[in-house]
Structure 1
């Protein structure tokens, strides 16, 4: 079957975490003694798992696929507390499977983002809450987690603090960033001027914040930069917020990197340009993407 793509940008290589990376990670976790394994995501539609090959990966690993948009196999969603000092949300609705696992592993793509500057393992948790519980009932605000972003000028301060809240409700034990093949200039083909790029790197570690900082450095950006400095042109730096909350460090000089130093791995990413007509929400669904490929 044709690989899903939009134009000349294949989804699975450029802006979805590649299932080969997930499978290799799963094998390593099994070798390390992992028992039950779950591949989880609040997907926009269930066929995405099949379309991008995750059902085959799950079968080979003996893992279960769980759509976090639904409470199954539980009778309802779990209301999980952020804890003291929450910014925006005191609690979130989650599939209760996240309370059953011993370790939450966040696997993301190496990408810039039109709003948050970069999107790696910390921001990846935006995809852990059910879409229907976090979309605003306003024109243009349905079909995505618009409540997490907020309206208009709220987004700059709100979204990075929501990311911080999510990561306190369910801390990431291991972070992995797939930077083998990705895209620059935005997080998806709904951004004008995005291009495929091949940094050829994987970043992994036991501190999601440190992983995100190294990934940001590999992109040629300063992970400690303050809004409105690049890449945080439109949003407060959620990596700085995470450091201030005690979730680790995003200062590269404080991070032990095993492997080549960051400055030898830099692939300078272009900054995000503008949204295509119709905005970022104009992305075709998987069925349309498959036809386009």
Structure 2
């Protein structure tokens, strides 16, 4: 969340500044007056203790990997409500905390990547979807079928989703394998009531943008339904790559699923 990121940056810079100023100026003055170094003010003592920890957390979270929790069913069957995932923060370039401004270009999303981002219409929150269309692609969605550059994707029906993982909200859905070029993956269809309008249409992805969709096709408010259908590259937060925990409810009061630990995200 943006507020946590801002708080972390402020706390890191603040504690570092207090520690540095004391080391450069005030500690020397105390020593010159005959004071002992271990008589430093409480604020300096806490800053010296917490700054290294905060700095490590900030670097890891901003440039290496960041944890997120899945709050909805839009990426089922591949990501479940309550999954805690890790997001690679350098796959698509290094970005400054808070502003998300890229300062080192490393790579770009590939078709089929599962990405975390801030959607144009909800910039305060992080969403997660799958990249379907790259810049220049023509993406269509008609009759539950995705069309990519004029060609329909191939689908293999795998059967009825039995909800064996305990996610009753998806029981009875049709489980399919979608042959997205370079990244075949499973999806769900016909669960609940599709969003208004059905999400059908054709879109040409502009430069510097991506078209994203959820794997739970009838329960995902994705690019098909946004007023501005495309995800700007600068809104990317990173690439989801690992489930490290699944926990239902506060403090896991509704259950803990150990089978999800260590699952890669396809």
TM range (shorter): under 0.3
- The structure with the largest helix share of the pair is 1
Give the TM-score normalised by the residue count of structure 1: 0.23
- The structure with the largest strand share of the pair is 2
Give the TM-score normalised by the residue count of structure 2: 0.25
